Amino acid sequence: MKDIFKSIEAYRLWEKEEPRSPEDKASFIADRIDVSDRDLNAFITLDREAFSRKAKAAFSPERRKSPLGGVPVAVKSNICVEGELTTCASRMLEGFRPPYNATVIEKLDHEGAFVISGANMDEFAFGSSCETSAYGPSRNPWDEDRIPGGSSGGSAVAVSSGQVVCALGSDTGGSIRQPASLCGVVGFKPTYGRVSRYGLIAFASSLDQIGPLARNVTDCATLLKAISGYDEKDSTSVNIEVPDYCASLGMDIKGMKVGMPSEYFQEGIDGDVQERLREAVKALEELGAEILEVSLPHTRYAVSCYYIIGPAEASSNLGRYDGVHYGYRDEEARDMIDMYVRSRTEGFGDEAKRRIILGTYALSSGYYEAYYLKALKVRTCIAEDFRKAFEVCDAIVTPTSPTTAFRIGEKSNDPLKMYLSDIFTIPANLAGIPAVSIPCGLGDNGMPVGMQLMAAPFAEEKLIRIAHAFERNTGFHELKPGTIED
C-alpha cells in the first residue's frame, strides 16, 4: 500500500497528482481501509453510506483551502458523531447512534475534515492494549501478533498503517500517548480543559481529554489547533486564548531546560527502551537543550492513586447504563431487578465490570475516606511536584511506556501487569498537564519506542517546539511498518 497518507503534505500532493471526483475519492479511502483492516481491525465499523454522504462537502475545492480540508481523520468510537455508530467498543452501546456531534467533530466539520468514525478501542476506554473491545482486538501494524496499546489503539493503528492521515483519541491515563509510542506515531494529550469534552462518552470526567495522533509533529499541531478552544457546553473547558501551535514549528531549542526525573529511570524499564531514551536525551542536548535532574517524589503513588480515582468516576459514569435509560437491555428478564442484573452482566465486558466493582468499593460507606479522599490528596501532591519542577525547567522527558508492544494475550490474565503499562503516562493526567509521545527509535525486537515530553499547564507550544526540533533532526518518524510500501 503506497504511503500517500503519511502526512497532510503527502496527501495534498496525491490529490494534485491523481485528481478524482469526491465520490471516487471517498470510495478509494474506504477501499484502502478495507484492504488493510481485515488484518488490523482498526475500525469497528466502516459506514460507506456516511462516506458517500460526506464526500461532496469534504472534498469540495473550497474546503481544500483549509489545512484540514478533505483530510481523512479517524475518530475513536467514544466520541459522538451524529447519526453514526458510536459504541465505545461495548455491547452495552451496540447500535447507538448519537443525535448530536461532539464539539471536536463540529470543529473538524468546520475545517472541512473528512471524519471517519468508529475507530476501535478498549471497551469504554478501560485498557492499555485494545484487547478489551467487544469487537476483537486491534493489531499492531509493525507486528500483527502484538498489541497496539490502548485504549486509543484503533486510532493509532489507523495512522501508523496509513489508513488515514491523522486521528482523534482520548487520554485518561495514557490512552493516546501509549498506543502512539507502541505504534511509532505522535500522540498528544492537551492540558485538561484545553479541548472540549462535550460529546466524549465519559470514563473518568476529571481525567479524560481528547487529543490528536499523527505521523509527525506538524500534523499533530495542525489538528490540535483545530480542536482546541473554549466551549460553553463543557463546564471544565478553560476560556483561554489558543496560540498558533504551528508557529512553534521550526524553532530551535537552544537554552531550553529539559528535566530528567530520576523516578522515571529506575528498575522496571526494558533495557532497550532505557537505552533509546538516553540516546534521545543526548540528541536533545546536542540540539542545545540544557538537561538537568528533577525530582517527582510522589510518582511512585501515581498508579495506586489513579486506580482509585479513575474507577470511582467510571463507576459513577457507567451507572446510567441500566437497560432502562441507556444501553443494552435484556428482553427476557423476569422482573425489574433481574433486568438490571442481566442487562449489565451481558452488556459489560470483564474489564468494565472490574473497574465498576473497584470504583464502587472505593466510594462505599466506610471506605470513601480511606481510599478515595486519600487518593485526591495524593493527586494534589503529584500536581505540586510538577509545579515545582516547572519552576526550573521548560519540559520534562521520560519514557512513554516501560516496554515495547507485548504479544496479544500476554498480560490478559494479569490485570496488575497490564495496569503498570501506563506507569509513566498516568501522572500527567492526574496533574492535568499537557504531554506528547514522539518516536525515538526501535527496540531490540524491531518495535517502536516512544519518548514522552511533559510541560506546565497550557504550555503545549513548548512541547511542539521541542518535539519538532527532535523530529526533524533524527527522522525516527519516517520509520514505518511493513504494511506500507514505497
Q: What does the alpha-carbon distance between residue 386 and residue 335 come to, in Å, rounded to a whole number?
A: 52
The DSSP 8-state label assigned to residue 72 in this structure reads E
> Could you give the angle at the alpha carbon of 242 between the alpha carbons of 105 and 388, nearest 5°?
115
Q: Which of 6, 25, 54, 76 is catalytic?
A: 76
- pLDDT at residue 62 tops 80: no
Distances (CA, A) of 258 to 158, 329, 392: 32, 52, 9
pLDDT reading at 170 higher than 90: yes
Q: Which of 170, 175, 228, 343 is catalytic?
A: 175
Q: What is the pLDDT of residue 486?
A: 40
Q: What is the pLDDT of residue 308?
A: 97
Strand partners, 79: 200
Residue 237: pLDDT over 70: yes
- 151 carries an active-site annotation: yes
Q: Which helix or strand (DSSP H or E) is residue 444 part of?
A: none
* Distant-in-sequence, close-in-space partners of 216: CB < 8 Å, separation ≥ 6: 6, 7, 186, 471, 477
Q: Which of 26-40, 46-60, 182-196, 430-444 has the lowest mean pLDDT?
A: 46-60
Cell of 430: 492526574
Is 175 one of the catalytic residues?
Answer: yes
Residue 269 DSSP SS3: coil
DSSP E strands: which ranges in 305-434? 395-399
Distance between CA atoms of residues 156 and 167, nearest Å:
7
State the burial class of residue 284 (Cβ atoms within 10 Å of its Cβ: 0-12, 13-18, 19+): buried
* Domain residue ranges in the chain: 8-259+390-478
- Which residues on neighbouring strands pair with residue 451, listed in sequence order? 399, 438
The residue-averaged pLDDT of 292-302 equals: 96
pLDDT at 1: 56
Residues contacting 152, CB < 8 A, separation 6+: 76, 119, 121, 125, 167, 169, 170, 171, 175, 176, 179, 187, 213
Cβ(66)–Cβ(46) below 8 Å? no
Q: Give whole-number Cα distances, 112 to 66, 106, 117, 275, 368, in Å.
A: 7, 10, 15, 42, 47
Residue 231 binned pLDDT confidence (cut-offs 50, 70, 90):
very high
If you average pLDDT over residues 193-199, what whole number do you get?
A: 98
Full-model pTM: 0.96
Topology of the domain comprising 8-259+390-478: Amidase signature (AS) enzymes (3.90.1300)
Which residue's entry shows cell 491523522?
166
- Model pLDDT, residue 23: 92
Give the pLDDT band (50/70/90) at residue 412: confident
Per-residue pLDDT at 483 exceeds 60: no
Of the residues 77, 151, 152, 315, which is catalytic? Answer: 151
Residue type, 421: S
Note the residue count of the chain. 486
Q: What is the mean pLDDT of residues 335-364?
A: 94
479 versus 65: which is more confidently predicted?
A: 479
pLDDT tens, 66-90?
Answer: 999 999 999 999 999 999 999 999 9
Angle subtended by helix axes 48-58 and 22-40, to nearest 10: 140
> Of 221-235, 334-348, 388-402, which range is least confident?
334-348
Convert the pLDDT of each residue in 420-469 to its tens digit.
889 999 999 999 999 999 999 999 999 999 999 999 999 999 999 999 99
> Coil, strand or helix: which one is 126?
coil
Take residue 13 and report the three cell numbers written for it: 500532493
Instruction: For cell 455491547, name the residue.
Output: 91
